[in-house]
Structure 1
Amino acid sequence: MSKEGQGQEGEEAYSRTTIMVPKNIASELSRVAKTRGRTLFHVAGEGLRLTTELIKDGFEPSDLIYFWRLYKILSSMDVIPMPMKLIEEVCTHVTSVLINFSNNEKLPAEFREEAGKAVNELWNIYEKYGHQVGALIRMEFDNLEELLEAVSRVSRLLAVRHVEVKKLGPNTIELMAIGPSGTSDIGNKALLSFIRGFVTQYDYEVVSEEARANVLRVVLQKKA
């Protein structure tokens, strides 16, 4: 049974409808409404509005909970949206210049050696930040399999088109990711370096890797 009427907190017409929800959710919603100085009626309506928009766009609201859990952690690192192609172009340019220097026999040997070391250091930087991000993410997702499942469910919001996780054994996981078309070898190498650093936080290591165009396959194994 419902009754049409005016909302107390806006001009929009509301429909009063009884909806059965779990008791713990109702209690938490009521608490949040009080702390925000809003009515339960208003907060519940806003929540349903958001849920409706997500479902219309093809999302499952439960999937977005995973995204929010990830976002809360990453926001502490001052993460900003940045096109993947921008990162790839910058990284490709820097590595190309350094590799040319390291192979140029007209340059002093010590200079060429330093240029070669700088290329390796670039991958070490990606691995280092993978390690740091892994430490933060583990605060929210203590289990790597749970995290990978979360990533596969919210892949539409990430810089990948598809993520698939397969368990090959008790301590072995295969991760397959399809990125945007046009992904370069440099981009794949940077991502692999990041993954190596990341999974060490979960006591895993990369034992096999394959990158072809925009398809990346990585086998992870738990350390003994």
Structure 2
Amino acid sequence: MFNRTTAIVLLVAVLAGAAGLWVSSRYFGSVSGPKLPQTTAVRLFDPPRTLPAFSLRQSDGTQLIPGELKGHWTLVFLGFTHCPDVCPTTLAQMSVAQKRWESLPEASRPRVLFVSVDPERDTPDRIGEYAHGFHKDTLAATADVPALEAFTKSLAMVFAKVPAPAGAPADQYTMDHSATLAVLDAQGRMAGLVRPPFDPNAIAADMVALSEAAP
């Protein structure tokens, strides 16, 4: 299990890796691919990165594996249902974006994936009820801690359990986690990110443009 020091060390490492990838693509060239539209909220990577194999448990009990994410541009957000502020605020903002693209065909409509990093308290049923309270189309998933650590690391994100304050019940702990949104392309690759503060209308415009441009 992560502690706060471990999370900081990992955060530095993943940021260094992201910086190295950016420098490499900028100065040594990148793999050519379909030309994508200019975006304002979404920062795109060139080239996108293929994610290692992963398996998460969706709220409906099915497994979420890389193949399930293909065909749609997807925004991935880490959180937990006991989150007091950042998580509900972000999911509410994403629901505004989701309403903007509801008219797109379901086959190419962007998606939002909420991944709980608190499997100790967040059962599949709980995360589904929580996520769908913001928007019915939001996907929700979790996994055991090792699987979550591997998945979040592949997205250059981190999370850590913060113990409950002295004198409080042990189950009143909280979770530190990355607040950025990972952007996956229609091939399920790590294609970019969105940093807070979030503008749901700008995010929606970018995701619609990317979805309509996807081959």
Q: TM-score scaled by structure 2?
A: 0.26
Q: Which has the larger radius of gyration?
A: 1
Higher helix content, 1 or 2: 1
Q: TM-score scaled by structure 1?
A: 0.26
Relative contact order (alpha carbons < 8 A, sep ≥ 6): 1 or 2 greater? 2
